[in-house]
Amino acid sequence: MRTPLLAANWKMNMGRQAAHDLVNGLLKETSEVKDREMAICPPFHLLADVEKLVAGHPHVYLGAQDLHWEDSGAYTGEVSAPMLLDVGCQMVIIGHSERRAMFGETDETCSKKVAAAISHKLIPILCVGESLEEREAGKTADVVTTQLRGALTGQQIEKGSQIVIAYEPIWAIGTGRTATPEMANETMQILRKTLEEIFSAEIAQEVRLLYGGSVKPTNIAEFMACSDIDGALVGGASLKVDSFAKIVQY
Ligand code: PEP
């Protein structure tokens, strides 16, 4: 049984007051929801504030949007797994397509980051996804399984709950275009099969697979109705109480 997970990726948005209002509003609006979990992934400067706001809400995870694989050292501007733990994080996004496209993230760096997260008991939300050209060339399965194998082969986990995978077609992120639920579910099944090959059938069944790409209150239910979609990673629509609360209450 995989508990649904709705994860908010605030990206480089929000200040302290706005974060305070958003998290308090969300907790109020979703107080009746008990059968699913939420993750809030603010930018680094808001982690400590959001940690205080979600304390006492065990179904709400605090997540960062990136980390460095070393624990400490001369890496100006970087933040490590022990630092994220220190501020109360339980999750961390790794390999978001924006980091792959703009900041040189590769499957190799994702692999090191996933290893650092797992060894410090942070749950990585590993993002994979194809470009429009790759989808149109029929390469989706190839691209996402290569990304998955590149980041996960050799990782030591005992349970599927130690990792989360987000399938985010790049052409659907922030564009208003979404994959159809059938398209997304088909790719999820390919990912789950690959997880079975990397780890085991048991672990593959336990891993939560999130869909990401222009998820909104109006389309979340149809994604959540798919057999292999266990939640969503939400960018734009996670920045407003009303829209993210509706997504959580799908
Ligand atoms: C994302 O950034 O992970 C994302 C899915 O963004 P959006 O929901 O805005 O498409």
| pLDDT tens string 133-143 | 999 999 999 99
> Which residues in the chain show pLDDT less than 70?
none
Q: Give the pLDDT confidence of 232-248 residue by residue, as tens digits.
A: 999 999 999 999 999 99
Instruction: Give the C-alpha separation, 86 to 107, whole Å.
Output: 27
pLDDT at 53: 98
Ligand 1 pocket, residue 168 CB under 6 Å:
yes
pLDDT of residue 1: 84
Q: pTM higher than 0.85 for the full model?
A: yes
φ, ψ of residue 208 to 5 degrees: the values are -85, 130
- Give me the residues paired with residue 203 across strands: none
Active site (annotated) includes residue 168: yes
User: Please, is 51 exposed, middle or buried when counting C-beta atoms within 10 Å of its C-beta (0-12, 13-18, 19+)?
Assistant: middle
**For ligand 1, is residue 215 a contact (CB within 6 Å)?**
yes
The answer, yes or no, to whether any atom of ligand 1 lies below 6 A from the CB of 212, is yes
Which numbered atom of ligand 1 lies nearest the CA of 166?
Answer: 3
Give the mutation target among 214, 216, 229, 243 for probing the ligand 1 site: most ligand atoms within 8 A of CB: 214
- Altogether, the residues listed in the chain come to a count of 250
Q: d(Cα 52, Cα 88) in Å, to the nearest integer?
A: 9
Q: Is 80 in the pocket of ligand 1 (CB under 6 A)?
A: no
Output the pLDDT for position 28.
Answer: 97
- Residue 31's pLDDT is what? 93
Ligand 1 atom nearest to CA at 212: 5
* 169 touches ligand 1 (CB under 6 Å): no
Query: Among this protein's residues, is 120 annotated catalytic?
Result: no
Q: State the catalytic residue, choosing from 98, 105, 130, 168.
A: 168
* Ligand 1 atom with minimal separation from the 172 CA: 10
| Shortest-distance atom of ligand 1 to CA 232 | 5
